[in-house]
Amino acid sequence: MTGWVEKLDAAARSSGSLVCIGLDPDPRRMAVSDVAEFNRAIIDATSDLVCAYKPQLAFYEALGLDGLRALEKTISHIKNIAPDAVLIGDCKRGDIGSTASAYAKAMFDVWDFDTVTLHPYLGVESVEPFTERADRGAIIVCRTSNPGAAELQDLKLVGDGVEGTLYEHTARLASKWNTGGNVGIVVGATYPAELATLRGQHPDMPILIPGVGAQGGDVEAATRAGVNSDGRGVMISSSRGIIFASEEAGTYAGSARSAAETLRDEINEALEGQN
Amino acid sequence: MTGWVEKLDAAARSSGSLVCIGLDPDPRRMAVSDVAEFNRAIIDATSDLVCAYKPQLAFYEALGLDGLRALEKTISHIKNIAPDAVLIGDCKRGDIGSTASAYAKAMFDVWDFDTVTLHPYLGVESVEPFTERADRGAIIVCRTSNPGAAELQDLKLVGDGVEGTLYEHTARLASKWNTGGNVGIVVGATYPAELATLRGQHPDMPILIPGVGAQGGDVEAATRAGVNSDGRGVMISSSRGIIFASEEAGTYAGSARSAAETLRDEINEALEGQN
Protein backbone atom coordinates (compact mmCIF):
# COMPACT_ATOMS: atom_id res chain seq x y z
CA MET A 1 0.00 0.00 0.00
CA THR A 2 1.41 3.37 -0.97
CA GLY A 3 1.48 5.84 1.87
CA TRP A 4 1.36 9.63 1.78
CA VAL A 5 5.14 9.95 2.15
CA GLU A 6 5.73 7.96 -1.05
CA LYS A 7 2.90 9.91 -2.73
CA LEU A 8 4.61 13.17 -1.74
CA ASP A 9 7.94 12.09 -3.15
CA ALA A 10 6.33 11.02 -6.42
CA ALA A 11 4.38 14.29 -6.66
CA ALA A 12 7.48 16.39 -5.97
CA ARG A 13 9.40 14.52 -8.67
CA SER A 14 6.69 14.56 -11.34
CA SER A 15 5.70 18.21 -10.79
CA GLY A 16 9.24 19.43 -10.16
CA SER A 17 7.72 21.46 -7.33
CA LEU A 18 7.92 21.51 -3.53
CA VAL A 19 5.07 24.02 -3.28
CA CYS A 20 2.04 23.32 -1.11
CA ILE A 21 -0.90 25.69 -1.49
CA GLY A 22 -2.91 26.41 1.64
CA LEU A 23 -6.59 26.75 0.81
CA ASP A 24 -7.73 29.14 3.56
CA PRO A 25 -10.76 30.92 2.12
CA ASP A 26 -11.61 34.23 3.78
CA PRO A 27 -14.85 35.80 2.51
CA ARG A 28 -13.50 39.30 3.21
CA ARG A 29 -10.74 38.78 0.65
CA MET A 30 -12.29 36.43 -1.90
CA ALA A 31 -13.13 37.92 -5.28
CA VAL A 32 -16.13 35.58 -5.65
CA SER A 33 -18.47 34.79 -2.78
CA ASP A 34 -18.77 31.02 -3.30
CA VAL A 35 -15.97 29.18 -1.50
CA ALA A 36 -16.09 26.04 -3.62
CA GLU A 37 -16.03 28.12 -6.81
CA PHE A 38 -13.15 30.23 -5.50
CA ASN A 39 -11.10 27.14 -4.61
CA ARG A 40 -11.96 25.40 -7.89
CA ALA A 41 -10.49 28.28 -9.91
CA ILE A 42 -7.34 28.29 -7.75
CA ILE A 43 -6.91 24.52 -8.12
CA ASP A 44 -7.53 24.58 -11.88
CA ALA A 45 -4.91 27.32 -12.24
CA THR A 46 -2.22 25.66 -10.11
CA SER A 47 -2.58 21.86 -10.27
CA ASP A 48 0.62 21.39 -12.31
CA LEU A 49 2.66 23.58 -9.97
CA VAL A 50 2.28 21.86 -6.59
CA CYS A 51 3.07 18.69 -4.68
CA ALA A 52 0.31 19.26 -2.12
CA TYR A 53 -2.87 21.16 -1.24
CA LYS A 54 -3.65 21.99 2.36
CA PRO A 55 -7.15 23.14 3.33
CA GLN A 56 -7.13 24.72 6.81
CA LEU A 57 -10.29 23.45 8.47
CA ALA A 58 -10.84 26.56 10.61
CA PHE A 59 -11.79 28.65 7.60
CA TYR A 60 -14.46 26.17 6.53
CA GLU A 61 -15.78 25.64 10.05
CA ALA A 62 -16.08 29.42 10.46
CA LEU A 63 -18.68 29.38 7.67
CA GLY A 64 -20.83 26.72 9.31
CA LEU A 65 -22.39 23.83 7.40
CA ASP A 66 -22.16 25.80 4.13
CA GLY A 67 -18.40 26.02 4.64
CA LEU A 68 -18.13 22.28 5.19
CA ARG A 69 -20.17 21.60 2.06
CA ALA A 70 -17.66 23.80 0.20
CA LEU A 71 -14.82 21.76 1.71
CA GLU A 72 -16.50 18.58 0.46
CA LYS A 73 -16.67 20.00 -3.08
CA THR A 74 -13.08 21.28 -2.86
CA ILE A 75 -11.69 17.89 -1.83
CA SER A 76 -13.65 16.15 -4.55
CA HIS A 77 -12.28 18.63 -7.10
CA ILE A 78 -8.68 18.11 -5.94
CA LYS A 79 -9.11 14.32 -6.23
CA ASN A 80 -10.37 14.79 -9.81
CA ILE A 81 -7.99 17.44 -11.09
CA ALA A 82 -4.86 16.79 -9.04
CA PRO A 83 -5.01 13.16 -7.90
CA ASP A 84 -1.23 13.00 -7.48
CA ALA A 85 -1.04 15.94 -5.05
CA VAL A 86 -0.92 15.07 -1.35
CA LEU A 87 -4.09 16.27 0.35
CA ILE A 88 -3.26 17.59 3.83
CA GLY A 89 -6.01 18.33 6.35
CA ASP A 90 -4.62 21.15 8.45
CA CYS A 91 -6.77 20.53 11.52
CA LYS A 92 -4.24 20.41 14.39
CA ARG A 93 -6.34 18.00 16.43
CA GLY A 94 -5.07 16.26 19.57
CA ASP A 95 -7.15 14.31 22.09
CA ILE A 96 -7.32 11.15 24.23
CA GLY A 97 -7.40 7.77 22.47
CA SER A 98 -11.13 7.19 22.05
CA THR A 99 -11.63 10.76 20.84
CA ALA A 100 -8.58 10.64 18.59
CA SER A 101 -10.09 7.57 16.92
CA ALA A 102 -13.23 9.59 16.19
CA TYR A 103 -11.13 12.41 14.73
CA ALA A 104 -9.21 9.93 12.56
CA LYS A 105 -12.54 8.64 11.28
CA ALA A 106 -13.60 12.23 10.49
CA MET A 107 -10.38 13.18 8.74
CA PHE A 108 -9.78 9.98 6.78
CA ASP A 109 -13.17 8.31 6.28
CA VAL A 110 -15.38 11.40 6.07
CA TRP A 111 -13.01 13.90 4.45
CA ASP A 112 -10.53 11.51 2.80
CA PHE A 113 -7.36 13.48 3.60
CA ASP A 114 -4.06 11.69 2.95
CA THR A 115 -2.55 13.05 6.14
CA VAL A 116 -3.36 15.62 8.84
CA THR A 117 -1.58 17.96 11.24
CA LEU A 118 -1.74 17.00 14.94
CA HIS A 119 -0.78 18.50 18.31
CA PRO A 120 1.75 16.50 20.36
CA TYR A 121 0.58 17.58 23.84
CA LEU A 122 -1.42 14.45 24.75
CA GLY A 123 1.27 12.00 23.71
CA VAL A 124 1.30 8.85 21.62
CA GLU A 125 -2.33 7.89 22.25
CA SER A 126 -3.50 11.03 20.46
CA VAL A 127 -1.41 10.15 17.40
CA GLU A 128 -1.74 6.36 17.09
CA PRO A 129 -5.26 6.25 15.60
CA PHE A 130 -3.82 8.28 12.71
CA THR A 131 -0.46 6.55 12.28
CA GLU A 132 -1.83 3.01 12.52
CA ARG A 133 -3.47 3.64 9.14
CA ALA A 134 -0.72 2.52 6.76
CA ASP A 135 -2.22 4.42 3.81
CA ARG A 136 -2.59 7.67 5.82
CA GLY A 137 -0.53 9.34 8.52
CA ALA A 138 0.14 12.43 10.56
CA ILE A 139 2.31 15.56 10.66
CA ILE A 140 3.17 16.60 14.21
CA VAL A 141 3.18 20.30 15.10
CA CYS A 142 6.72 20.89 16.29
CA ARG A 143 8.04 24.45 15.76
CA THR A 144 5.34 26.75 14.41
CA SER A 145 5.66 29.86 12.26
CA ASN A 146 3.90 32.38 14.52
CA PRO A 147 5.76 35.17 16.34
CA GLY A 148 4.95 33.72 19.80
CA ALA A 149 5.92 30.15 18.95
CA ALA A 150 8.81 30.34 21.41
CA GLU A 151 6.53 30.80 24.43
CA LEU A 152 6.19 27.05 24.95
CA GLN A 153 8.17 25.49 22.14
CA ASP A 154 11.55 26.95 23.17
CA LEU A 155 11.29 25.90 26.81
CA LYS A 156 14.47 24.12 27.90
CA LEU A 157 14.12 20.61 29.23
CA VAL A 158 16.17 18.73 31.76
CA GLY A 159 16.33 14.96 32.22
CA ASP A 160 17.76 11.83 30.66
CA GLY A 161 17.15 11.71 26.91
CA VAL A 162 15.24 14.98 26.81
CA GLU A 163 18.06 17.47 26.40
CA GLY A 164 17.39 20.63 24.44
CA THR A 165 14.13 22.42 23.82
CA LEU A 166 10.54 21.25 23.88
CA TYR A 167 10.30 21.54 20.09
CA GLU A 168 13.37 19.31 19.69
CA HIS A 169 11.85 16.77 22.04
CA THR A 170 8.55 16.90 20.15
CA ALA A 171 10.45 16.08 16.96
CA ARG A 172 12.22 13.25 18.81
CA LEU A 173 8.83 11.87 19.89
CA ALA A 174 7.45 12.22 16.35
CA SER A 175 10.41 10.20 15.15
CA LYS A 176 9.77 7.58 17.85
CA TRP A 177 6.07 7.42 16.90
CA ASN A 178 7.08 6.99 13.25
CA THR A 179 7.23 3.20 13.32
CA GLY A 180 5.25 2.97 10.08
CA GLY A 181 7.16 5.56 8.07
CA ASN A 182 4.11 7.83 7.81
CA VAL A 183 4.90 10.65 10.26
CA GLY A 184 6.14 14.13 9.40
CA ILE A 185 6.70 17.33 11.37
CA VAL A 186 5.59 20.96 11.04
CA VAL A 187 8.40 23.52 11.25
CA GLY A 188 7.83 27.17 10.30
CA ALA A 189 9.87 28.84 7.55
CA THR A 190 10.17 31.86 9.81
CA TYR A 191 12.73 29.99 11.94
CA PRO A 192 15.37 28.66 9.49
CA ALA A 193 17.95 27.98 12.22
CA GLU A 194 15.50 25.72 14.09
CA LEU A 195 14.56 24.12 10.78
CA ALA A 196 18.22 23.31 10.04
CA THR A 197 18.66 21.84 13.54
CA LEU A 198 15.64 19.59 13.16
CA ARG A 199 16.54 18.46 9.64
CA GLY A 200 19.98 17.57 10.94
CA GLN A 201 18.49 15.51 13.75
CA HIS A 202 15.89 13.86 11.48
CA PRO A 203 17.33 13.37 8.01
CA ASP A 204 14.33 11.47 6.64
CA MET A 205 11.06 12.77 8.12
CA PRO A 206 9.02 14.93 5.74
CA ILE A 207 8.67 18.51 6.91
CA LEU A 208 5.64 20.72 6.30
CA ILE A 209 7.00 24.27 6.21
CA PRO A 210 4.37 27.00 6.51
CA GLY A 211 5.24 30.66 6.93
CA VAL A 212 6.52 31.79 3.54
CA GLY A 213 4.44 34.43 1.80
CA ALA A 214 2.18 36.48 4.09
CA GLN A 215 4.10 35.42 7.20
CA GLY A 216 7.41 36.59 5.75
CA GLY A 217 9.61 33.48 5.94
CA ASP A 218 12.65 33.54 3.63
CA VAL A 219 12.15 31.01 0.84
CA GLU A 220 15.82 30.44 0.06
CA ALA A 221 16.82 29.97 3.70
CA ALA A 222 13.87 27.70 4.45
CA THR A 223 14.46 25.58 1.37
CA ARG A 224 18.13 25.04 2.03
CA ALA A 225 17.56 24.34 5.71
CA GLY A 226 14.63 22.01 5.18
CA VAL A 227 15.27 19.65 2.28
CA ASN A 228 16.57 16.14 2.74
CA SER A 229 19.67 14.75 1.02
CA ASP A 230 17.64 14.19 -2.17
CA GLY A 231 16.68 17.87 -2.26
CA ARG A 232 13.07 16.95 -1.46
CA GLY A 233 11.11 15.82 1.64
CA VAL A 234 9.51 19.21 2.28
CA MET A 235 6.20 20.87 1.51
CA ILE A 236 6.80 24.61 1.42
CA SER A 237 3.39 26.04 2.08
CA SER A 238 1.93 29.42 1.26
CA SER A 239 -1.73 30.28 1.69
CA ARG A 240 -2.66 33.98 1.62
CA GLY A 241 0.41 34.88 -0.48
CA ILE A 242 -0.93 32.71 -3.30
CA ILE A 243 -4.71 32.58 -3.05
CA PHE A 244 -5.06 36.33 -2.42
CA ALA A 245 -2.23 37.42 -4.75
CA SER A 246 -5.03 39.33 -6.46
CA GLU A 247 -8.42 40.04 -4.91
CA GLU A 248 -10.09 40.87 -8.24
CA ALA A 249 -12.62 38.54 -9.86
CA GLY A 250 -11.03 38.69 -13.28
CA THR A 251 -7.47 38.04 -12.19
CA TYR A 252 -7.30 36.11 -8.92
CA ALA A 253 -6.81 32.64 -10.43
CA GLY A 254 -4.17 33.84 -12.87
CA SER A 255 -2.41 35.76 -10.11
CA ALA A 256 -2.47 32.68 -7.90
CA ARG A 257 -0.82 30.75 -10.72
CA SER A 258 1.86 33.40 -11.11
CA ALA A 259 2.51 33.47 -7.35
CA ALA A 260 2.74 29.67 -7.17
CA GLU A 261 5.07 29.63 -10.18
CA THR A 262 7.29 32.28 -8.60
CA LEU A 263 7.46 30.34 -5.35
CA ARG A 264 8.26 27.08 -7.15
CA ASP A 265 11.04 28.80 -9.08
CA GLU A 266 12.48 30.49 -5.99
CA ILE A 267 12.63 27.12 -4.26
CA ASN A 268 14.22 25.41 -7.24
CA GLU A 269 16.77 28.20 -7.65
CA ALA A 270 17.71 27.91 -3.98
CA LEU A 271 18.31 24.20 -4.56
CA GLU A 272 20.37 24.75 -7.68
CA GLY A 273 22.43 27.44 -5.96
CA GLN A 274 23.18 24.91 -3.23
CA ASN A 275 24.56 22.27 -5.56
CA MET B 1 -21.61 41.40 30.53
CA THR B 2 -21.79 38.08 32.33
CA GLY B 3 -19.02 35.70 31.35
CA TRP B 4 -18.98 31.92 31.40
CA VAL B 5 -17.13 31.80 34.74
CA GLU B 6 -19.95 33.69 36.47
CA LYS B 7 -22.50 31.57 34.61
CA LEU B 8 -20.76 28.43 35.89
CA ASP B 9 -20.81 29.62 39.47
CA ALA B 10 -24.49 30.52 39.24
CA ALA B 11 -25.31 27.14 37.65
CA ALA B 12 -23.36 25.23 40.29
CA ARG B 13 -25.18 27.11 43.07
CA SER B 14 -28.68 26.85 41.64
CA SER B 15 -28.39 23.18 40.63
CA GLY B 16 -26.34 22.14 43.66
CA SER B 17 -24.26 20.12 41.22
CA LEU B 18 -20.69 20.21 39.91
CA VAL B 19 -21.46 17.57 37.27
CA CYS B 20 -20.67 18.19 33.61
CA ILE B 21 -22.07 15.67 31.15
CA GLY B 22 -19.95 14.95 28.10
CA LEU B 23 -22.14 14.39 25.05
CA ASP B 24 -19.94 12.03 23.01
CA PRO B 25 -22.37 10.06 20.85
CA ASP B 26 -21.02 6.77 19.53
CA PRO B 27 -23.37 4.99 17.10
CA ARG B 28 -22.01 1.61 18.19
CA ARG B 29 -23.32 2.18 21.72
CA MET B 30 -26.39 4.35 21.23
CA ALA B 31 -29.76 2.72 21.84
CA VAL B 32 -31.36 4.89 19.14
CA SER B 33 -29.71 5.65 15.84
CA ASP B 34 -30.51 9.38 15.63
CA VAL B 35 -27.82 11.41 17.45
CA ALA B 36 -29.98 14.48 18.06
CA GLU B 37 -32.79 12.30 19.44
CA PHE B 38 -30.34 10.38 21.64
CA ASN B 39 -28.88 13.59 23.06
CA ARG B 40 -32.32 15.18 23.52
CA ALA B 41 -33.44 12.32 25.75
CA ILE B 42 -30.22 12.53 27.80
CA ILE B 43 -30.58 16.31 28.21
CA ASP B 44 -34.28 16.10 29.13
CA ALA B 45 -33.44 13.48 31.76
CA THR B 46 -30.51 15.35 33.33
CA SER B 47 -31.00 19.11 32.94
CA ASP B 48 -31.64 19.68 36.67
CA LEU B 49 -28.56 17.68 37.69
CA VAL B 50 -25.70 19.48 35.95
CA CYS B 51 -23.80 22.75 35.81
CA ALA B 52 -22.49 22.13 32.29
CA TYR B 53 -22.85 20.09 29.10
CA LYS B 54 -19.80 19.34 26.99
CA PRO B 55 -20.22 18.05 23.44
CA GLN B 56 -16.95 16.58 22.14
CA LEU B 57 -16.74 17.75 18.53
CA ALA B 58 -14.82 14.69 17.29
CA PHE B 59 -17.87 12.45 17.68
CA TYR B 60 -20.03 14.76 15.56
CA GLU B 61 -17.32 15.33 12.93
CA ALA B 62 -16.88 11.55 12.63
CA LEU B 63 -20.47 11.37 11.34
CA GLY B 64 -19.92 13.98 8.63
CA LEU B 65 -22.44 16.73 7.87
CA ASP B 66 -25.25 14.66 9.43
CA GLY B 67 -23.30 14.64 12.68
CA LEU B 68 -22.89 18.40 12.58
CA ARG B 69 -26.58 18.88 11.93
CA ALA B 70 -27.20 16.75 15.03
CA LEU B 71 -24.79 18.97 16.98
CA GLU B 72 -26.77 22.02 15.83
CA LYS B 73 -30.01 20.49 17.12
CA THR B 74 -28.34 19.40 20.36
CA ILE B 75 -27.01 22.88 21.12
CA SER B 76 -30.36 24.43 20.33
CA HIS B 77 -32.05 21.96 22.69
CA ILE B 78 -29.59 22.69 25.51
CA LYS B 79 -30.22 26.43 25.10
CA ASN B 80 -33.97 25.80 25.38
CA ILE B 81 -34.07 23.23 28.16
CA ALA B 82 -31.00 24.09 30.20
CA PRO B 83 -30.19 27.76 29.48
CA ASP B 84 -28.33 28.11 32.78
CA ALA B 85 -25.88 25.27 32.10
CA VAL B 86 -22.49 26.26 30.72
CA LEU B 87 -22.10 24.96 27.17
CA ILE B 88 -18.52 23.80 26.61
CA GLY B 89 -17.24 23.01 23.13
CA ASP B 90 -14.63 20.32 23.67
CA CYS B 91 -12.69 20.94 20.48
CA LYS B 92 -9.07 21.28 21.66
CA ARG B 93 -8.13 23.64 18.84
CA GLY B 94 -4.84 25.54 18.71
CA ASP B 95 -3.42 27.48 15.75
CA ILE B 96 -1.69 30.70 14.64
CA GLY B 97 -3.52 34.01 15.16
CA SER B 98 -5.40 34.38 11.88
CA THR B 99 -6.52 30.76 12.00
CA ALA B 100 -7.40 30.95 15.70
CA SER B 101 -9.68 33.88 14.85
CA ALA B 102 -11.47 31.68 12.33
CA TYR B 103 -11.85 28.92 14.94
CA ALA B 104 -13.22 31.43 17.48
CA LYS B 105 -15.77 32.50 14.88
CA ALA B 106 -16.72 28.85 14.33
CA MET B 107 -17.03 28.00 18.01
CA PHE B 108 -18.76 31.16 19.23
CA ASP B 109 -20.62 32.64 16.26
CA VAL B 110 -21.54 29.44 14.40
CA TRP B 111 -21.96 27.00 17.32
CA ASP B 112 -22.63 29.47 20.15
CA PHE B 113 -20.54 27.67 22.80
CA ASP B 114 -19.93 29.62 26.04
CA THR B 115 -16.34 28.43 26.20
CA VAL B 116 -14.05 25.91 24.50
CA THR B 117 -11.03 23.75 25.26
CA LEU B 118 -7.74 24.82 23.62
CA HIS B 119 -4.20 23.48 23.22
CA PRO B 120 -1.42 25.67 24.66
CA TYR B 121 1.37 24.65 22.26
CA LEU B 122 1.25 27.71 19.96
CA GLY B 123 1.24 30.25 22.77
CA VAL B 124 -0.83 33.33 23.52
CA GLU B 125 -1.73 34.13 19.90
CA SER B 126 -3.66 30.88 19.63
CA VAL B 127 -5.70 31.76 22.73
CA GLU B 128 -6.32 35.52 22.43
CA PRO B 129 -9.06 35.39 19.77
CA PHE B 130 -11.05 33.34 22.30
CA THR B 131 -10.22 35.23 25.50
CA GLU B 132 -10.71 38.70 24.03
CA ARG B 133 -14.42 37.87 23.87
CA ALA B 134 -15.58 39.05 27.32
CA ASP B 135 -18.79 36.99 27.15
CA ARG B 136 -16.93 33.80 26.12
CA GLY B 137 -13.55 32.33 27.00
CA ALA B 138 -11.27 29.33 26.93
CA ILE B 139 -10.16 26.34 28.98
CA ILE B 140 -6.51 25.44 28.41
CA VAL B 141 -5.50 21.79 28.18
CA CYS B 142 -2.99 21.41 30.96
CA ARG B 143 -2.77 17.91 32.52
CA THR B 144 -4.96 15.43 30.65
CA SER B 145 -6.66 12.28 31.89
CA ASN B 146 -5.15 9.75 29.47
CA PRO B 147 -2.60 7.12 30.54
CA GLY B 148 0.15 8.63 28.39
CA ALA B 149 -0.41 12.22 29.49
CA ALA B 150 3.00 12.25 31.19
CA GLU B 151 4.89 11.78 27.93
CA LEU B 152 5.05 15.53 27.27
CA GLN B 153 3.18 17.09 30.16
CA ASP B 154 5.52 15.84 32.90
CA LEU B 155 8.71 16.98 31.19
CA LYS B 156 10.87 18.95 33.61
CA LEU B 157 11.79 22.48 32.66
CA VAL B 158 14.83 24.54 33.48
CA GLY B 159 15.13 28.33 33.34
CA ASP B 160 14.09 31.48 35.15
CA GLY B 161 10.41 31.44 36.08
CA VAL B 162 9.72 28.07 34.46
CA GLU B 163 10.59 25.73 37.30
CA GLY B 164 8.69 22.47 37.56
CA THR B 165 6.92 20.50 34.86
CA LEU B 166 5.50 21.48 31.51
CA TYR B 167 1.94 21.07 32.80
CA GLU B 168 2.67 23.43 35.70
CA HIS B 169 4.10 25.97 33.29
CA THR B 170 1.08 25.61 31.01
CA ALA B 171 -1.16 26.43 33.99
CA ARG B 172 1.11 29.41 34.78
CA LEU B 173 0.69 30.64 31.20
CA ALA B 174 -3.08 30.11 31.35
CA SER B 175 -3.11 32.25 34.47
CA LYS B 176 -1.02 34.92 32.73
CA TRP B 177 -3.35 34.84 29.72
CA ASN B 178 -6.34 35.20 32.05
CA THR B 179 -6.41 39.00 32.04
CA GLY B 180 -10.17 39.03 31.48
CA GLY B 181 -11.13 36.46 34.12
CA ASN B 182 -12.45 34.04 31.49
CA VAL B 183 -9.76 31.35 31.34
CA GLY B 184 -9.89 27.91 32.95
CA ILE B 185 -7.69 24.81 32.78
CA VAL B 186 -8.26 21.11 32.01
CA VAL B 187 -6.83 18.72 34.60
CA GLY B 188 -7.74 15.02 34.56
CA ALA B 189 -9.38 13.36 37.57
CA THR B 190 -7.04 10.43 37.07
CA TYR B 191 -4.17 12.50 38.52
CA PRO B 192 -5.44 13.87 41.86
CA ALA B 193 -1.96 14.78 43.13
CA GLU B 194 -1.30 16.97 40.08
CA LEU B 195 -4.80 18.42 40.46
CA ALA B 196 -4.08 19.37 44.07
CA THR B 197 -0.78 20.97 43.07
CA LEU B 198 -2.43 23.06 40.37
CA ARG B 199 -5.36 24.13 42.56
CA GLY B 200 -2.85 25.21 45.17
CA GLN B 201 -0.97 27.30 42.61
CA HIS B 202 -4.14 28.74 41.07
CA PRO B 203 -6.79 29.20 43.74
CA ASP B 204 -9.32 30.89 41.45
CA MET B 205 -9.19 29.47 37.92
CA PRO B 206 -12.07 27.14 37.05
CA ILE B 207 -10.95 23.57 36.39
CA LEU B 208 -12.59 21.21 33.93
CA ILE B 209 -11.96 17.73 35.33
CA PRO B 210 -12.58 14.89 32.88
CA GLY B 211 -11.68 11.29 33.62
CA VAL B 212 -14.23 10.11 36.18
CA GLY B 213 -16.53 7.33 35.03
CA ALA B 214 -15.20 5.24 32.13
CA GLN B 215 -11.64 6.49 32.64
CA GLY B 216 -11.61 5.46 36.29
CA GLY B 217 -10.74 8.67 38.14
CA ASP B 218 -11.65 8.67 41.84
CA VAL B 219 -14.54 11.09 42.39
CA GLU B 220 -13.84 11.80 46.03
CA ALA B 221 -10.14 12.45 45.51
CA ALA B 222 -10.71 14.60 42.43
CA THR B 223 -13.41 16.65 44.10
CA ARG B 224 -11.38 17.38 47.21
CA ALA B 225 -8.28 18.17 45.21
CA GLY B 226 -10.03 20.33 42.64
CA VAL B 227 -12.56 22.62 44.31
CA ASN B 228 -11.78 26.21 45.21
CA SER B 229 -12.23 27.69 48.68
CA ASP B 230 -15.99 28.05 48.06
CA GLY B 231 -16.25 24.33 47.33
CA ARG B 232 -16.99 25.09 43.67
CA GLY B 233 -14.96 26.21 40.63
CA VAL B 234 -14.84 22.78 39.01
CA MET B 235 -16.78 20.93 36.33
CA ILE B 236 -16.42 17.22 37.03
CA SER B 237 -17.08 15.65 33.69
CA SER B 238 -18.26 12.17 32.78
CA SER B 239 -19.24 11.15 29.28
CA ARG B 240 -19.48 7.41 28.60
CA GLY B 241 -20.17 6.60 32.27
CA ILE B 242 -23.40 8.59 32.07
CA ILE B 243 -24.66 8.53 28.50
CA PHE B 244 -24.02 4.80 28.05
CA ALA B 245 -24.99 3.77 31.60
CA SER B 246 -27.59 1.68 29.78
CA GLU B 247 -27.44 0.86 26.09
CA GLU B 248 -31.12 -0.17 25.88
CA ALA B 249 -33.73 1.98 24.11
CA GLY B 250 -36.23 1.80 26.94
CA THR B 251 -33.87 2.66 29.75
CA TYR B 252 -30.90 4.70 28.56
CA ALA B 253 -32.28 8.13 29.48
CA GLY B 254 -33.40 7.00 32.92
CA SER B 255 -30.09 5.25 33.51
CA ALA B 256 -28.24 8.40 32.46
CA ARG B 257 -30.28 10.32 35.03
CA SER B 258 -29.43 7.80 37.75
CA ALA B 259 -25.73 7.87 36.86
CA ALA B 260 -25.67 11.69 36.87
CA GLU B 261 -27.51 11.75 40.19
CA THR B 262 -25.07 9.27 41.70
CA LEU B 263 -22.09 11.31 40.49
CA ARG B 264 -23.62 14.55 41.83
CA ASP B 265 -24.19 12.91 45.20
CA GLU B 266 -20.71 11.39 45.38
CA ILE B 267 -19.22 14.82 44.71
CA ASN B 268 -21.42 16.51 47.29
CA GLU B 269 -20.66 13.85 49.89
CA ALA B 270 -16.95 14.31 49.29
CA LEU B 271 -17.40 18.03 49.93
CA GLU B 272 -19.46 17.48 53.09
CA GLY B 273 -16.94 14.97 54.37
CA GLN B 274 -14.26 17.60 53.92
CA ASN B 275 -15.98 20.27 56.02
Q: What is the ipTM of this complex?
A: 0.97
Q: Tell if the pTM clears 0.90, that is, is over it.
A: yes
Determine the pLDDT at residue B163: 86
Which of A29, A92, A124 is best to mutate for the B interface (most B CBs within 10 A)? A92
Task: Check if A126 contacts B (Cβ < 8 Å).
Answer: yes
**Contact flag A119-B123 (C-beta cutoff 8 Å):** no
Q: What average pLDDT does range A207-227 have in this prediction?
A: 92
- The domain of B157 spans 4-270
The amino acid at A104: A
**Contact flag A144-B162 (C-beta cutoff 8 Å):** no
How many independent structural domains does chain B possess?
1
In a domain? residue B275: no
In a domain? residue B203: yes
A185 closest CA partner among A107, A119, A122, A102: A119
Task: Check if B231 contacts A (Cβ < 8 Å).
Answer: no
In a domain? residue B91: yes
Lowest average pLDDT, out of A84-88, A146-150, A151-155, goes to: A146-150
Determine the pLDDT at residue A208: 98
- The CATH code of the domain that includes A174 is 3.20.20.70
Determine contact, residues A238/A213, Cβ cutoff 8 Å. Answer: yes
Which of A119, A163, A243 is best to mutate for the B interface (most B CBs within 10 A)? A119
CA triple B36-B183-B46, angle to 5 deg: 30
Task: Check if B65 contacts A (Cβ < 8 Å).
Answer: yes
In a domain? residue B121: yes
pLDDT band per the 50, 70, 90 thresholds, residue A214:
confident
Q: Min CA distance, B234 vs chain A (Å)?
A: 20
Q: Min CA distance, B159 vs chain A (Å)?
A: 7
The contacts of residue B97 (CB under 8 Å, 6+ apart) are A146, B125, B126, B128, B129
- Does the pLDDT value for residue A28 go beyond 70? yes
Task: Check if A66 contacts B (Cβ < 8 Å).
Answer: no
Nearest to B155 among A24, A153, A159 (CB): A159
**Contact flag A65-B63 (C-beta cutoff 8 Å):** no
In a domain? residue B170: yes
pLDDT below 70 — which residues of chain B?
Answer: 1, 275
Q: What average pLDDT does range A84-91 have in this prediction?
A: 98
Active-site residue set of B = 92
pLDDT band per the 50, 70, 90 thresholds, residue A69:
very high
Task: Check if A180 contacts B (Cβ < 8 Å).
Answer: no
Determine the pLDDT at residue B115: 98
- Per the prediction, chain B carries an average pLDDT of 96
Q: For residue B105, list chain A residues with Cβ-Cβ distance below 8 A.
A: 62
In a domain? residue B66: yes
Which stretch of DSSP H or E encloses residue A90?
A: strand A86-93
Which stretch of DSSP H or E encloses residue A54?
A: strand A52-55
In a domain? residue B135: yes
Phi, then psi, of A95 in degrees rounded to 5: -155, 175
Task: Check if B97 contacts A (Cβ < 8 Å).
Answer: yes
Q: How many CB pairs under 8 A join A and B?
A: 176
Determine contact, residues A60/A113, Cβ cutoff 8 Å. Answer: no
What is the per-residue pLDDT across B182-239, written as a single tens digit (0 to 9) for each?
A: 999 999 999 999 999 999 999 999 999 999 977 788 999 999 999 999 999 999 999 9
- Does the pLDDT value for residue A275 go beyond 70? no
Nearest to B146 among A122, A152, A240 (CB): A122
Q: For residue A126, list chain B residues with Cβ-Cβ distance below 8 A.
A: 146
Determine the pLDDT at residue A1: 58
Task: Check if B167 contacts A (Cβ < 8 Å).
Answer: no
Q: For residue B56, list chain A residues with Cβ-Cβ distance below 8 A.
A: 95, 99, 102
Q: What average pLDDT does range A199-206 have in this prediction?
A: 97
Task: Check if B141 contacts A (Cβ < 8 Å).
Answer: yes
